[in-house]
Amino acid sequence: MHHFTCARGKVTIGLDLGDKHSHYHALDANGRSVGRGRLETTPEVFRAHFSAMKSARIVVEAGTHSPWVSRLLTELEHEVLVANPRQLPLIYRNTKKSDQTDPENLARVGRLDPNLLKPLEHRSKRTQVDLATLRARDSLVAARTKLINHVRGSVKPLGAKVPSCSAPHFHHKAPAFIPVELQAVLAPVVKMIEELTRQIRHYDKVIERELCVKHSATIVLQQIDGVGPLTALAYVLILADPRRFRDSRTVGAYLGLTPRKDDSGEQQPQLRITKAGDPFLRRLLVSSAQYILGPFGPDTDLKRFGEALARRGGKNARKRAVVAIARKLAVLLHRLWLTGEVYEPLRKRPQPERNLGASRDCSSVTTD
């Protein structure tokens, strides 16, 4: 096990994190290798190893272990850079990736120009725990959907069919339409669907009665019809701090809701969205956009904007309209969160003067 010292300048360490073991490569201020090795990926081993050395610049890739590793190393007074691997072709496009080359590449880029790493800032431990609640609920919903589809698919070969109904009511309605031959087989599955529904309702109560109360900014965001406690809370927890973004319009790109670009001469092809950022929040925003554009969505500037896009026709016009609404929604939510202003669904409709979160009177926000 190496402990690094450097006569002049700060040591830079590239750290490739793995589930069982992590590999490191250290460079001195002149770029010369001064050590490499392997550590068990546990808090105890990391604390013992890195507390014994002088302050160093340590570069890690974003991943499942990087949140706790970055917090621990920062606590030990090291400079920690969390690299965005998708923004660093040297790492993710390397055809000779290995436990030796990856940490060395991280260290060399981090020593020369940290900005090339597109460094990320991890959420706080408290925020990570609250976000885990949302993701746990999402996993249960996905499991319930898979089991419901299994039951529906299993009865069809025997000439039966479970009528359409909402997922929370499926376990009430399905048993009456399951053929006798399959009742013993599918009864445990339906029972599991019932239990999943019960657990999902429990998470819903926790989200609405505890987490949304703790994160009061969610109240401002729920002014928009189609944005419920789940979407509002996910938005606040995943973005963490609205001041991270200098311009609200950049939030759409951050969440992967802007189209890719591949302009060449006079050719400007319509490409798919980048799908960068958090897929969970992007899915929630798209779901909210579908409600806004759907038959139950109230008349708003957002809906009129989407309907105008959909009327233009062309291939996948409605899908593009939904994504466009989701992008505008991401921008609008950021603006509301930042200012606490009153949301004006229709600019021509007068709104009562009130303020839900700003410390001073603000003009109404529109969807522009």
Per-residue pLDDT of the chain (368 residues; tens, 9 = 90+): 455 554 446 899 999 999 999 999 999 999 999 999 999 999 999 999 999 999 999 999 999 999 999 999 999 999 999 998 766 665 656 655 667 788 999 999 999 888 888 788 888 899 999 999 999 999 999 999 999 999 999 999 999 999 999 999 999 999 999 999 999 999 999 999 999 999 999 999 999 999 999 999 999 999 999 999 999 999 999 999 999 899 999 999 999 999 876 554 455 555 788 888 899 999 999 999 999 999 999 999 999 999 999 998 777 899 999 999 999 999 999 999 999 999 999 975 555 555 555 433 333 344 43
Q: Phi and psi at residue 35, in whole multiples of 5°?
A: 165, 150
Please state the pTM of the whole predicted model. 0.80
Say how far residue 335 (Cα) sits from the centre of its chain. 19
Task: Give CA–CA dist 197/51, Å, rounded.
Answer: 47
Structural domain boundaries in the chain = 12-117, 125-214, 233-333
Say how far residue 158 (Cα) sits from the centre of its chain. 42
Task: Give CA–CA dist 54/31, Å, rounded.
Answer: 18
12-117: CATH number: 3.30.420.40
Q: How many residues does the chain have?
A: 368
CA dihedral angle for residue 267, residue 272, residue 275, residue 276, rounded to 10 degrees = 0
